[in-house]
């Protein structure tokens, strides 16, 4: 296959191709965490009802960083995502309703952290949007780990150890449990208050083999969930996720394989032309539940007396209803998804251990059956042309020219002419036929179709969550200079905010500071412009005076409390310090510097720097 011009879909390739995008992102963030995207081999929504999800990571990451500032609350900053068919990164905006809801949840989460965390959260995603590749799962785990680091709950060394820990031990770690449950809450917030937890769990754990994830069965809403301890829809009560039981395993650990499994297949992802989000499935599933509840009412009202035998035995269809103290048609029907989720794991085990075409066919058939069942549960979201859309894809796959290639499922969990198509084939087959397959799909289905990922070219992901940068701990990304600048900043408050800048971020930030006192090189900068000896007689003496005033912001400071190097005569202070500084400041910024002097002559005066909206910084040290 000719891949000329295609940028490989993995982190290494994208970081190499777009260094300026990453440099700008890392330069503004003091701490950056990354987590990989993933997809579900078997139905992800089954996890909500007690099934087991099988999750495969892909070698694309979401980077979450924080830009600390004077604010003690969290806000969202840049959201940049890669667009494969355009082969470029692009800026996007968060949905405002979702953003407001998420920030409220983050505010609640931060109240339970050891220390306050404030600033802008920036997101850089290599994982395409709306393709069913758990971009939100990786983002939410990244945010959760970032908050844990910034608040002092954990550190980089502990995270690195946790990522490779055996999962039964990992789940006993209270720090991990807190991090995971926070990410679970964020996931639910992003998906209409329903979250499986599988995508965020897999984003944390390092593994070359698939991740299995289970959570206890949930059902109904927070207002009404009679047959389960917890609701599937928490209706904003995210504290529910603090106690729901869960468990995860690396596939190789569950089956006791000594090494990572050797896949006898190649697989890939084809984007079908438009975005799709798994949250759209939840409404139709609730509609189906109501329909089955009505069907139970029909049975109870009209069919209870339907004869089943000469003995006094209820008909089976009545016996299954809630009226007979059973969980009802909905609970019984959803159980089939759980059975299929377990069968998929059994099929996967046979596929890895035996590597036969029969094992591959059985695994694909099971996942295909899962998708057909999901089609029933999500009835109502189909587009008018879906039947023809699916038919054309199936015709292409069954064609002799593509014999051996199998479509396996649509991502997130079913097709509605959007998201990604997951396909598999015996190892080596796709290397000669994928271009032909893509051309057929573009010709007969949609010209917007593209290859998102190919396992045999783009590689596989073995890592979990990773701390990419932490300036406070002297950990630097390769995209920025290795060095930090420590600045105390005042803005409207008596106490300063202590910030740690990368070299690049400081060069940008100092241009936006109204007044910067560089006590290392004895320079005063206004909006990034250094004052010269023509502007002010002694920068060193001025800095020493202003530091004392900043430490007593908004208060009168008597002359006797000023540094010995200060001018002690009022006239000298006015003519050589205050007037030149205020004049230069006004000329450059157009603003008034609230610096004043009052009192008697000689030593009987006082100075004051009033609180204001100005940003004033003191560069304290470089490391």
- Picking from 10-24, 341-355, 491-505, which range would have the lowest pLDDT averaged per residue? 491-505
Reply yes or no on whether the pLDDT at 402 is more than 50: yes
What letter would DSSP give residue 345? H
Q: Where are the domains of the chain?
A: 11-471, 481-622
In this predicted model, what pLDDT tens digit does every residue of 135-166 receive, in sequence order? 999 999 999 999 999 999 999 999 999 999 99
How far apart (Å, rounded) are the C-alpha atoms in residues 425 and 440? 17
Reply yes or no on whether the pLDDT at 193 is more than 70: yes
pLDDT given for residue 417 in this prediction: 45
Q: Phi and psi at residue 168, in whole multiples of 5°?
A: -60, -35
What letter would DSSP give residue 512? G
For residue 123, give the nearest of 153, 102, 109 by alpha carbon. Answer: 102
Q: 451 or 20: whose pLDDT is higher? A: 20
Reply yes or no on whether the pLDDT at 398 is more than 70: no
Q: How many CB atoms lie within 10 A of CB 343?
A: 18
pLDDT over 90, % of the chain: 48
pLDDT mean over 563-582: 81
Q: Tokens 């003519």 label which residue?
A: 575
Look at strands 246-250 and 52-67 and give their pairing.
unpaired
In this predicted model, what pLDDT tens digit does every residue of 214-237 receive, in sequence order? 999 988 889 988 778 998 889 999
Q: 611 or 396: whose pLDDT is higher? A: 611
In this predicted model, what pLDDT tens digit does every residue of 497-548 receive, in sequence order? 888 889 988 998 899 999 999 989 999 999 999 999 899 888 998 999 999 9
In this predicted model, what pLDDT tens digit does every residue of 522-534 receive, in sequence order? 999 999 999 998 9
How far apart (Å, rounded) are the C-alpha atoms in residues 201 and 47? 12
Mean pLDDT (the chain, rounded): 85
Reply yes or no on whether the pLDDT at 406 is more than 80: no
User: Can you tell me whether residue 520 is helix, strand or coil?
Assistant: coil
pLDDT given for residue 553 in this prediction: 92
pLDDT given for residue 568 in this prediction: 64
Q: Phi and psi at residue 63, in whole multiples of 5°?
A: -105, 130
430: enclosing H helix or E strand: helix 430-444
Q: At a CB cut-off of 8 Å and minimum separation 6, what does 118 contact?
A: 68, 69, 71, 72, 73, 74
Q: 458 or 86: whose pLDDT is higher? A: 458
- Picking from 138-152, 419-433, 455-469, 581-595, which range would have the lowest pLDDT averaged per residue? 419-433
Q: How many CB atoms lie within 10 A of CB 154?
A: 20
- Determine if the peptide bond prior to 412 is cis (ω within 30°): yes
Q: Tokens 């959570």 label which residue?
A: 215
pLDDT mean over 338-362: 90
Distance from the Cα of residue 574 to its chain's centroid: 54
Reply yes or no on whether the pLDDT at 612 is more than 70: yes
User: Can you tell me whether residue 391 is helix, strand or coil?
Assistant: helix
pLDDT-derived band at 295 (thresholds 50, 70, 90) equals confident
Reply yes or no on whether the pLDDT at 379 is more than 60: yes
pLDDT given for residue 400 in this prediction: 47
pLDDT mean over 307-329: 68
pLDDT-derived band at 323 (thresholds 50, 70, 90) equals low
pLDDT given for residue 313 in this prediction: 65
pLDDT-derived band at 15 (thresholds 50, 70, 90) equals very high
Question: Nearest 10 degrees: CA dihedral of 444, 448, 452, 454?
Answer: 30
**Please, are residues 105 and 186 in contact by the beta-carbon 8 Å criterion?**
yes
- Picking from 56-60, 95-99, 428-432, which range would have the lowest pLDDT averaged per residue? 428-432
Burial 95-126 (b: 16+ CB within 10 A, else e): eeeeeeebbebbeebbeebeeebbbbbbbbbb
Reply yes or no on whether the pLDDT at 167 is more than 90: yes
pLDDT mean over 345-364: 89
pLDDT given for residue 308 in this prediction: 55
pLDDT given for residue 276 in this prediction: 54
Q: 342 or 309: whose pLDDT is higher? A: 342
pLDDT given for residue 564 in this prediction: 72
pLDDT-derived band at 36 (thresholds 50, 70, 90) equals very high
Give bridge partners of residue 66 from the DSSP assignment: 31, 121
pLDDT mean over 102-110: 95
How far apart (Å, rounded) are the C-alpha atoms in residues 597 and 557? 9
How far apart (Å, rounded) are the C-alpha atoms in residues 417 and 244? 34
Q: Tokens 């502007």 label which residue?
A: 535
pLDDT mean over 272-278: 61
**Please, are residues 347 and 360 in contact by the beta-carbon 8 Å criterion?**
no
pLDDT winner (highest mean) among 248-252, 434-438, 574-578: 248-252
How far apart (Å, rounded) are the C-alpha atoms in residues 426 and 435? 16
128 torsion bin: left (phi>0), alpha (psi -120 to 50), beta (else):
beta
Reply yes or no on whether the pLDDT at 399 is more than 90: no
Q: At a CB cut-off of 8 Å and minimum separation 6, what does 518 contact?
A: 524, 525, 543, 619
Query: 407, exposed or middle or buried, with CB in 10 Å at 0-12, 13-18, 19+?
Result: buried
How far apart (Å, rounded) are the C-alpha atoms in residues 418 and 401? 25
pLDDT mean over 363-391: 68
Question: Nearest 10 degrees: CA dihedral of 366, 367, 369, 373?
Answer: 140
For residue 74, give the nearest of 99, 27, 107, 109 by alpha carbon. Answer: 107
DSSP assignment of 541-588: HHHHHHHHHHHTTTS-EEGGGS-TTS--SHHHHIIIIIHHHHHHHHHH
pLDDT given for residue 395 in this prediction: 67
Instruction: Match domain 11-471 to its CATH number in 3.40.50.2300, 2.40.290.10, 3.10.180.10, 3.30.230.10.
Output: 3.30.230.10
Tell me the CB-side half-sphere exposure of residue 443, using CA atoms within 13 A: 8
pLDDT given for residue 414 in this prediction: 46
Q: In the chain, what's the furthest Cα-to-Cα distance? A: 116
In this predicted model, what pLDDT tens digit does every residue of 435-462 receive, in sequence order? 777 787 788 777 877 788 899 999 999 9
Reply yes or no on whether the pLDDT at 34 is more than 90: yes
pLDDT given for residue 244 in this prediction: 96
Reply yes or no on whether the pLDDT at 316 is more than 80: no
Reply yes or no on whether the pLDDT at 309 is more than 60: no
Determine the CATH number of domain 481-622. Answer: 1.10.10.10
């Amino acid at each position: 296959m000719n891949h000329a011009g295609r940028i490989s879909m993995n982190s290494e390739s994208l970081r190499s191709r777009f260094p300026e995008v990453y440099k700008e992102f890392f330069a503004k963030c003091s701490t950056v965490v990354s987590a990989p995207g993933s997809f579900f081999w078997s139905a992800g929504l089954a996890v909500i009802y007690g099934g087991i999800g099988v999750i495969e990571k892909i070698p694309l990451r979401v980077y979450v960083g924080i830009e600390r500032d004077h604010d003690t609350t969290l806000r969202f900053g840049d959201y940049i995502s890669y667009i494969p068919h355009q082969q470029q990164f692009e800026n996007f905006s968060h949905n405002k309703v979702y953003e407001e809801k998420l920030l409220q949840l983050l505010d609640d989460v931060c109240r339970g952290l050891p220390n306050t965390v404030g600033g802008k959260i920036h997101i850089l995603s290599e994982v395409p949007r709306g393709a069913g590749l758990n971009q939100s799962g990786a983002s939410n785990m990244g945010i959760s780990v970032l908050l844990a680091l910034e608040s002092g709950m954990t550190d980089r060394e502990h995270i690195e150890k946790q990522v490779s820990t055996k999962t039964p031990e990992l789940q006993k770690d209270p720090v991990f449990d807190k991090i995971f449950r926070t990410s679970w809450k964020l996931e639910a917030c992003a998906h209409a208050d329903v979250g499986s937890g599988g995508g965020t769990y897999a984003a944390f754990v390092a593994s070359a083999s698939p991740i299995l994830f289970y959570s206890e069965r949930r059902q109904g809403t927070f207002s009404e969930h009679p047959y389960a301890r917890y609701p599937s829809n928490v209706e904003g009560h995210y504290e529910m996720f603090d106690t729901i039981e869960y468990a995860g395993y690396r596939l190789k650990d569950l089956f006791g394989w000594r090494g990572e499994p050797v896949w006898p297949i190649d697989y890939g992802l084809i984007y079908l032309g438009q975005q799709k989000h798994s949250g759209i499935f939840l409404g139709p599933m609730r509609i189906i539940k109501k329909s089955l509840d009505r069907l139970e009412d029909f049975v109870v009202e009209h069919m209870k007396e339907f004869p089943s035998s000469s003995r006094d035995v209820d008909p089976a269809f009545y016996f299954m209803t809630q009226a007979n103290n059973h969980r009802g048609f909905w609970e019984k029907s959803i159980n089939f998804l759980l059975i299929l989720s377990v069968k998929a794991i059994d099929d996967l085990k046979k596929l890895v251990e035996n590597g036969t075409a029969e094992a591959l066919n059985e695994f694909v058939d099971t996942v295909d059956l899962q998708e057909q069942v999901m089609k029933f549960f999500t009835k109502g979201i189909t587009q008018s042309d879906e039947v023809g859309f699916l038919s054309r894809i199936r015709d292409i796959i069954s064609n002799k020219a593509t014999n051996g290639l199998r479509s396996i499922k649509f991502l997130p969990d079913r097709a509605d002419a959007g998201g990604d198509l997951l396909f598999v084939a015996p190892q080596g087959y796709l290397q000669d036929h994928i271009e032909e397959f893509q051309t057929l799909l573009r010709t007969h289905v949609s010209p917007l179709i593209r290859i998102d990922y190919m396992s045999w070219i783009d590689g596989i992901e073995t890592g979990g969550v990773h701390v990419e940068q932490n300036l406070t701990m002297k950990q630097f990304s390769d995209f920025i200079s290795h060095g930090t600048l420590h600045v105390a900043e005042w803005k409207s408050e008596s106490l300063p905010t202590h910030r740690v800048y990368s070299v690049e971020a400081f060069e940008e930030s100092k241009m936006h500071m109204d007044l910067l006192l560089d006590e290392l090189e004895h320079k005063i900068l206004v909006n990034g412009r250094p004052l010269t000896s023509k502007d002010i007689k002694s920068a060193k003496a001025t800095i020493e005076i202003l530091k004392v005033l900043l430490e007593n912001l908004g208060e009168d400071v008597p002359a006797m409390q000023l540094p010995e190097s200060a001018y002690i005569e009022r006239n000298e202070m006015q003519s050589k310090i205050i007037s030149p500084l205020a004049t230069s400041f006004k000329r450059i910024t157009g603003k008034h510097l609230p610096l004043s002097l009052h009192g008697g002559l000689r030593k009987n005066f006082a100075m004051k720097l009033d609180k204001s909206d100005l940003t004033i910084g003191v560069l304290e040290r470089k490391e």
